[in-house]
């Protein structure tokens, strides 16, 4: 049985965030400039999107990430823990990212709260 939101939140509060393994939940598209656009459905059920979204309108939200967010999203592979991702981004982005661990954990917390990612340890 999958834990509900409050149970997952409780697990996250007790866990060492750097040892968690993030997993992407939604699809993405890499733009020409290298930034990532997340493609998030407006509704989970197909019939709801058919009923509530007018024709010629997109069934998805598009969320455009900046350079650091894009690099973080692309580093999420379902195998690497947060510490490994922070180390990779520190090498990849160099001076562009200060306090990599703090920024990446805040970003992943935001993505988790919006349900764009989950963690392998709480599935």
The band of 22, judged by pLDDT with boundaries at 50, 70 and 90, is very high
Compute how many other C-beta atoms are within 10 angstroms of the C-beta atom of residue 89: 21
DSSP string, 5-71: HHHHHHHHHHS-GGG--EEE-SEEEE-TTS-EEEEEES-SSHHHHHHHSPTTS-SEEEEE--HHHHH
At 35-67, the pLDDT tens digits run 999 999 888 777 777 777 777 778 889 999 999
Structurally, the chain folds into a number of domains equal to 1
Q: Domain of 104: which CATH number?
A: 3.90.930
37, β-bridge pairs: 29, 64
Domain that holds residue 72: 5-122
Mean pLDDT of all residues in 100-116 = 89
pTM of the model: 0.84
């Amino acid at each position: 049985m999958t834990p509900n939101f409050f149970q997952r939140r409780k697990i996250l509060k007790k866990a060492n965030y750097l040892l968690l393994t993030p997993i992407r939940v939604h699809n993405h598209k890499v733009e020409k400039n290298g930034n990532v656009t997340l493609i998030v459905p407006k509704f989970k059920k197909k019939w709801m999107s058919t009923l509530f979204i007018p024709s010629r309108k997109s069934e998805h939200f598009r969320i455009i990430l900046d350079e650091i967010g894009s690099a973080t999203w692309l580093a999420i592979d379902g195998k690497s823990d947060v510490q490994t991702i922070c180390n990779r981004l520190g090498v990849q982005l160099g001076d562009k990212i200060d306090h990599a661990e703090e920024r990446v954990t805040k970003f992943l917390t935001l993505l988790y709260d919006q349900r764009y990612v989950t963690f392998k340890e709480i599935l």
